[in-house]
Amino acid sequence: MNERSSRAHSLVTLNLTQSCPKTGKSVSSKLFLVDLGGSEQLKKSQAHYKNSNVDAATRHQRTEEAVQINLGLLALKQCVDFLSKASRSS
């Protein structure tokens, strides 16, 4: 979380290794835990309300911020999808 956003996103990677003392064999795995914190809806950002007390420049800024938040979430989703597919193929 930062001072400019109420959204918090997390990505945790756990590397797990299990070994069998009798055989000496081991198995390694990765576990990805992701919390995207939710997407930004224009309706909730009040960017589309023309009758609100917010001027046009502020509405435009809120719209741009909502778009950038959603683009960032999309990029993160694509990274997670890629990592997931790569780990399944190896």
Tell whether pTM > 0.75: no
Q: Quick one: tokens of 56?
A: 């046009």
Q: How many angstroms separate the CA atoms of 16 and 84, rounded?
A: 16
**pLDDT for 60 beyond 90:** no
Per-chain mean pLDDT for the chain: 79
Q: Above 90 in pLDDT, residue 25?
A: yes
